[in-house]
Each structure stands twice: as structure tokens, then as C-alpha cells.
Amino acid sequence: MGVRLPPGVPNIRDTDLIVDDHKKWMGWAIREAEKAFSQDEVPVGAVVLFEDRIIGKGYNQTETLQDPTAHAEMIAISAAANSLKSWRLENCSLYVTLEPCAMCAGAIVLARIESIVIGAMDPKAGACGSLRNVLQDHRLNHQTEIQYGIMEEESSDLLKVFFQRLREQKT
């Protein structure tokens, strides 16, 4: 039998469950990032979730496609919009291994995504709290909730190994 808590007091068990769920879905985003890694792309991956299932996946393909807009989030958002046959991704969540840039954060707002979950932060280009916060700019007509730091180590380790390898190849 569950413990009944007064309203407003977070139930620790429920919180644990939510974190476990976030980790499960972030695991899928990391698998996408690993695909990028294996194709010599900066390893970033993203998935879009709707009603507890993945409706769009993507990984960074900037080099392969020679397209500056081919970020993981953009590909996942396009795939999700395709699945729902709607550009409105209300009630969807996006899981991404690295804090989105200004372009991707713009797309998240335009798609009206309800919430995003971020793995690692990007102090050099992040637009969801680092350099600016496009997702929670109240001058815009939509704001997106942000959850930080889910599987942060796994997400940033992939990037660290990738850039380390790149430096070694150059020397």
C-alpha cells in the first residue's frame, strides 16, 4: 500500500520512478549518439517520445550529409512530425544527449514540444541554459520544461572520447 503524503510533498518513490524512466529513454538517445560516433560524426543523439513510445529518432549527420542543419534534434523532430502527421509536437518530450544549440532550441519551441531532458551541458554553444535559454523566454509564445543531468556522464564521455581521438589523429 502506498504512503499517502500531504499535498505538495514529493513522494521520493515516485521521483525515483521518474528518474528511472528518464534514464531508460535517455539510453535510447545515447544509442543514437553511438551511431553518430561510429560514423565519425560528433556523437549527439536524440529521441522524441509521445505517449510512452518513441516516434522519432536522430543522430548528428552534419558531416555525412554536409548539412549544417543535420543535428540529432532536427532529424528526430522531423521524424516525429512525420509520424504524427503534424508539425505540432504538443505533449511530446525530447531526450537529447547534449544541450541543444540555438537552432535546435528554436525548432523545439516552434514544434511546441512540452518538455526536454538533457544529458550533458554545452557551455560553448548551448541555448537551453548555458549561453542563453531559448526554451524559457517568456517573450515567445511557447515555453518548454527542461530536466537537466540525466545520464550526464555517459553522454559527455562519448563526446570526450570522440574529441580525444580526433586530436590524436591530427598529431
List the catalytic residues.
73
Q: How many residues does this entry show for the chain?
A: 171
101 close to 122: Cβ distance less than 8 angstroms: yes
Contact between 101 and Zn ion by CB under 5 A: the answer reads yes
Of all helices (H) and strands (E), which one includes residue 118? strand 115-120
State which residue, 27 or 106, has the beta carbon closest to Zn ion: 106
Among the residue ranges 81-89, 97-105, 112-120, 154-162, the one whose residues contact Zn ion (CB under 5 A): 97-105
Task: Give the integer Cα–Cα distance in Å for 67 and 157.
Answer: 25
Contact between 117 and Zn ion by CB under 5 A: the answer reads no
Strands 92-98 and 53-59, bridge-based pairing: unpaired
The number of helices, as runs of H, and strands, as runs of E, in the chain is: 5, 5
Task: Give the integer Cα–Cα distance in Å for 151 and 56.
Answer: 20
Among the residue ranges 11-19, 27-35, 67-75, 86-94, the one whose residues contact Zn ion (CB under 5 A): 67-75
Contact with Zn ion (CB under 5 A): which of 79, 92, 104, 116? 104
Cell of 95: 531526450
Minimal distance, residue 135 CB to Zn ion, in Å: 13
Contact between 118 and Zn ion by CB under 5 A: the answer reads no
State which residue, 84 or 103, has the beta carbon closest to Zn ion: 103
State which residue, 25 or 59, has the beta carbon closest to Zn ion: 59
Cell of 149: 543531468
Contacts (CB under 5 A) with Zn ion, residues 126-155 = none
List of residues contacting Zn ion (CB under 5 A): 71, 101, 103-104
